[in-house]
Chains A and B, each alone.
Chain A
Amino acid sequence: MSAPAKPVPLTTVESTETSDSGTQTLTLSVGPQHSGSGHMRLIVEVDGDIIVNVAPDPGYVHRGIEKIIELRNIIKSIPVIERPSIIDASNLNHAWVRSIEEIQGVEVPRRGQYLRTLLNEMNRIMSHLYWLSIYGVFLGHTTMFMWPLGDRELFIDLAEKLTGARITYSYLVPGGVRRDLPPGFAEEAVKRTEYFEKRLKEYDRIFFNNPLFTSRAKGIGVLSKEKAIELGCTGPTLRGSGVDADLRKDEPYAAYSELDFEVSTRPDGDSFSRAMVHMDEMRESCKMIRQIVKKIPAGPIRRKAPIVLPRGVAYGRVESARGECSFYLIGEGGDKPYRARYITGSYRNMAAIPAVLLGNRLADMPTAWWSIDYWPVEADR
């Protein structure tokens, strides 16, 4: 478990190494066509059934988004920025508009802040549900594959009412948001979140309290607190290792300082802890959505912001569903940025993949590595 990953040459997919007992290890190429990987590859070396070496091989879906941003108007970049993680579009969008507003010095009206928070939290639930469904099917639980994807529709429809789009909203713009709450939205949101909380209890009954699941997830893929900090993990992965770090609390932005919610942490750092952090966050997000539709102040939703990016430097970061998503933005006075460095939660958590896999059995590979919620498209950008 503690052995550091020795880098494997990426061309090595044949069994080469001979151990002391004269037996050979087997090198498996898990992905990008493997059904237990995403758009990425894990080169896994197994000794019998035990994983002795892992090298993540990302980059299959690299789109050069940082370069695209440099060539575009700051407003026209918004749909591009959402692409890397369309299941978590508004959180990524939020990091972008925050960094722009910091350079421009634009203050967002309070109603606009609340609406941003509302969509962010809805997006967090949708993203966690998507994660949960893949987690279920990786464990061979077909019902847990279908239920979360079906319940995700609750919030997709809700987001459609609010923004007009189902997945990629482009809802957050510099200075505020695009549209106000439609009539009847508050009642609908309360109804749907309450129904969804009932469904979460059913998830517990069929999956999380299932002894076969707990025996597969507890103690698997352990990432200690020190190791998680050392590797620079973030988001649910870090909180699953017992570190109380959440930008929504530590550096409150938008309306988070006015909302009552708890940051969920689990001390064990195994696959089960990370799964439970995701579940807790969905419950907290439901509470937040109800608070927002109750407490939302009247007023304008958007303040006029200039279309140009003044000379200046900003670092805008938010807590996205997969951890800290940040933009390091340099403006030079035109309508395009000079440079935009874009780092997402998945990219920060990639370093944890070998750490959680080493020493585990091949059968535990999907459970262990997917629990850190690595979204290849978001990591490659």
Chain B
Amino acid sequence: MLGPLQPLIDMVTSPLFLMIVLFPGLTSIAIIGALLGWLERKVTARVQLRIGPLYASPAGGILQMFADLIKLSFKELFVPENSDAFFFIMAPTTGLVIGAALVGLIPFAPGLQIANIEVGLPAFLAIITLSPSLVLLAGWSANSKFPFIGGLRALFQQTAYEIPLWLSALGVIMMAGTLNLAQIVAAQSTGWFIIPQALGAFIFLVTSVAEMERLPFDLPEAESEIMMGWQAEYPGVLFLAAQGPGFVKLYAFSALFTTIYLGGFLGPSLLPPLFWMLSKTLVVIILIMLLRSTFPRVRLDQLLRAGWTTLLTLAIVNIGITYLLVVGLPTF
């Protein structure tokens, strides 16, 4: 009876479709992104002896970000007259797509992974490489001075952190002997990589915070210097689209950090693997959020110098250490 519709029904009820639409796909990304916005405000408020969002639900204002979403979506969608409208709208929305694509590569539990590709880790880092270019595109297309400075800063910043980020991830690849994220998790069943890769994990954390453009590396949007930088001209829903990738990337990077350093979904079998994965990710997220309330912003030249000297050297040292750990002392 359902003959012609059968392929459609099969598709909608297939596990892959449900994963893409529900968890760990789009719906969950949107909800988690909004909840992270709330969590960040609560964590920061706790550090700063404030209360934070309180009234937008009985449970400590947990719906605050949803209220903000509704408010922003009713704002006028105003595209500046002299801007390049296509790129102005395209840049932040593409940013959202990229953020969501990152989550698709993460194994949240055995089998709970949208794209289990052989080159999972390099693919993650390669997709994220696009995002500073989009920031530059957004800043340039707005045709305004402060956004343009913000866009240029994003590109400069990328040159500082990109190489140490890749090199620190190389340590993990050497330890695991694979590029596949699910197999990297499996390789950690004897011990989490954060112990032999402590230095690499530190570099990875620092550079990924720089990639996420979060304090202390929020140079492209430095509010007191260049007025939110590349985001300055975005109204309403587009502002949401410009802000959103920040939280999605925070989620994706914390999940990746958990996957490659903290043993991913591995944990005592008392509780399901998904619980371990999400709780470890939450710990990493809160750690990154605490950086925001503890450090002032760095300057671009300081970041570039640190990236090209300290971080790069440490990353190479880390590769050397890993070589000794994996291969052992060379025999002559």
Contacts and interface: CB of A to CB of B under 8 A. Distances in A.
Given A28-B145, A150-B49, A210-B296, A140 B301 contact: no
Contacts of B293: 142-143
Interface of A: 26, 28, 34-36, 49, 136-147, 150, 206-207, 210, 212-213, 215-216, 361-366
Interface residues of B, number: 30
B302 interface: yes
A366 B294 contact: no
B297 A140 contact: yes
A164 B228 CA distance: 41
A201 to B, nearest CB: 16
A216 B292 CA distance: 16
A366 B296 CA distance: 13
A364 B67 CA distance: 36
The 6 nearest A-B residue pairs measured at CB: A140-B297, A146-B48, A141-B296, A139-B296, A36-B224, A138-B224
Contacts of A365: 225
Given A34-B227, A363-B222, 20 more contacts: A26-B145, A36-B225, A140-B216, A140-B223, A141-B295, A141-B297, A142-B44, A142-B293, A143-B293, A146-B50, A147-B49, A150-B48, A207-B296, A210-B294, A210-B295, A215-B298, A216-B296, A362-B149, A362-B226, A363-B225
Contacts of A216: 296-299, 302
B181 interface: no
Interface SS, A side: helix
A51 to B, nearest CB: 12
A202 to B, nearest CB: 11
A6 to B, nearest CB: 21
B224 A362 contact: no
A142 B223 CA distance: 11
B225 A212 contact: no
Contacts of B48: 142-143, 145-147, 150
B146 to A, nearest CB: 7
A140 B47 CA distance: 15
Contact of B301 (A136, A143, A213, A361): A361
Interface in B43-62: 44, 47-50
B149 A366 contact: no
B109 to A, nearest CB: 35
A256 B110 CA distance: 74
B300 A143 contact: no
B215 interface: yes
A35 B227 contact: yes
Contacts of A207: 296
B218 A140 contact: yes
A206 B292 CA distance: 12
B161 to A, nearest CB: 16
Interface string B273-305: 000000000000000000011111111111000
